[in-house]
Every structure is written in structure tokens, then in C-alpha cells.
Amino acid sequence: MSQTKPALARLQHIAAALNTRKRTSITQLADELEVSTRTISRDLDHLKDSLRLPIDADVRGHYFNGPVNLCSVCGKRKREAKP
């Protein structure tokens, strides 16, 4: 069995994906990180609930639903969100 990225690396990857893409799907993230969609769902919940990042979703995928000035997870500056 291959090893997957540690939790912090997954959170950084997810935050970076939300930071640079207009939308991203749970399936796409799961494929990129080689984990289950359930793991990505839990990671997104953690980013929203514990780190209070403004993440939302629609039929096209997950996205930042408000401005993020400094992502505490990935350390990158974020421009104004455009849903």
C-alpha cells in the first residue's frame, strides 16, 4: 500500500487549490492526493470549522466564498474571491 500525504500536507494542498482555482471538486482533490473522497470531505470540514476559512460549494465544486487575506494553512496571499 502506498503512503499518502500527511494531514497537514493535504490541508495545504486543498487550501492552495482553492486559492488558485475557480472551483475544485472533492473527487479531483481525492485523485490528486490519492485519498478517499471522505477524507477530503473531512479535511474541508476542518478548514471551514476549525480554521474558519470561507469555503462554500455549488454544483461546480468548492471555492472560497469571501476574501481570504492570508491563508493560515498555506501561507499564501489570496486575492478577492470570485464565485
What pLDDT score does 39 carry?
96
Cell of 51: 480554521
What pLDDT sits at residue 38? 97
pLDDT at 74 over 70: no
CA distance 15 to 28: 14
The per-residue pLDDT for range 18-35, each reduced to its tens digit, is 988 889 999 999 999 999
% of residues, the chain, pLDDT over 90: 49
More confident residue, 42 or 50: 42
Write down how long the chain is. 83
For the chain, list the domains and their CATH numbers. 1-83 (1.10.10.10)
Amino acid 2: pLDDT:
47
Q: Which residues contact 32 (CB under 8 A, 6 or more apart)?
A: 13, 17
Enter the pTM of the model. Answer: 0.77
**What is the C-alpha to C-alpha distance for residues 66 and 38, in angstroms, rounded to an integer?**
25
